[in-house]
Amino acid sequence: MRPIIGISTSIIIDSGGMFPGYHRSYVNRDYVKGVLAAGGVPVMLPMTDDKEAVEAALSLCDGLILSGGQDVNPLCYNQEPHKTLGEVCPERDAFDLDLYRLAREKDMPVLGICRGSQIIAVAEGGTLYQDLSLAETSLKHSQGHSPAMPSHHIHVEEGSKLFDIVKERRICVNSFHHQVINTPGDRMRVTARADDNIIEAIEHKDAKFVLAVQWHPEMMHASDEHMLHIFKALIHHC
C-alpha cells in the first residue's frame, strides 16, 4: 500500500478570466509531483474552518505536508505586526495549526515547507522574524532565478534526520523567503543553518518524523536527488 500524503492547500482569487474574484482551492503542482515521485499518493486538503471536516480528512492520511504560502500572522506568536510584514491569512493559520496539532496527536509524520516550517515552529511555541531585515543576515534569501536551481548553501547538523537523508554536511538549496524562524520552540532542534546563521531546518526531538525546511525541496525534486530523498523519507516513515 502506498502511503496517502495530505497536502495543506490555500486559496487563490482569480484576478481575470471568466470568474474574476472567484476563490479556488489550490496547491502548487510540484508538491503533488514530489509525493508521486517518492512513491506516495498525494491528497489535497482544502482549507476550511470546519474542524470536524479537517479531522475527518486528516484521518484518511498517513502523512502530512504543510505547504508554503503567506506570512504567519504574528498574533499567533504574541507579536504585533511589524511594518515589513507581508500578506497574512488568519483562516489558513488556524487551518494549518489545527492540521499540525491533529497530526502530532497521532504521531503522524509531517514535512513542513517554507511557511509550513514556520507554522510548525509557532505551533511548538517558537517565534519568527517577521522580515529578514530584522535578523542579522548577509545572504540573499530571495533568489531571482529558476526555483529548480539552488542559490545558497546550508550546513547540516550531523546526527540529525536531515543528515540521515542527505548524508552530506553541506548542501545547496533554493531560497524564496522573507521571513525566518527566530526561536524554534523547546521541543524542536535546529538541524541546518545558512552561512549567515539563518535557521533553514528544524526537527522535532521526540516525534517519529517532523522535519521542517525553510527552502522548497518540491521545486528541486526532479533535478536534485537530495530533495527527492526528503519526500522519500517522509513516505518511508509513513
The residues carrying an active-site annotation are 114, 216, 218
Contact code string over 132-151 relative to Mn ion, x by CB under 5 A: ---------x----------
Q: How far apart are CA 177 and CA 86, in angstroms?
A: 11
User: Would you say 141 or 229 has its CB closer to Mn ion?
Assistant: 141
User: Would you say 78 or 138 has its CB closer to Mn ion?
Assistant: 138
Residue 26 contacts residue 50 (beta carbons within 8 Å): no
State the minimum distance, in angstroms, from the CB of residue 141 to Mn ion: 4
User: Would you say 127 or 151 has its CB closer to Mn ion?
Assistant: 151
The count of chain residues that interact with Mn ion, using the rule CB under 5 A, is: 2
Q: How far apart are CA 40 and CA 34, in angstroms?
A: 9
State the minimum distance, in angstroms, from the CB of residue 215 to Mn ion: 6
DSSP 135-176: S---S--B--S-TTS--EEEEEPTTSHHHHHH--SEEEE--B
State the minimum distance, in angstroms, from the CB of residue 192 to Mn ion: 10
Helix, strand, coil percent values for the chain (each to nearest 5): 30, 25, 45
Q: Is 175 in the site for Mn ion (CB under 5 A)?
A: yes
**Grid cell for residue 228:** 527527492
Burial (CB count <10 Å: 0-12, 13-18, 19+), residue 199: buried
User: Would you say 114 or 235 has its CB closer to Mn ion?
Assistant: 114
Contact code string over 39-78 relative to Mn ion, x by CB under 5 A: ----------------------------------------
State the minimum distance, in angstroms, from the CB of residue 152 to Mn ion: 6
Q: How far apart are CA 105 and CA 83, in angstroms?
A: 36
Q: Is 161 in the site for Mn ion (CB under 5 A)?
A: no
Q: Which residues bind Mn ion (CB under 5 A)?
A: 141, 175
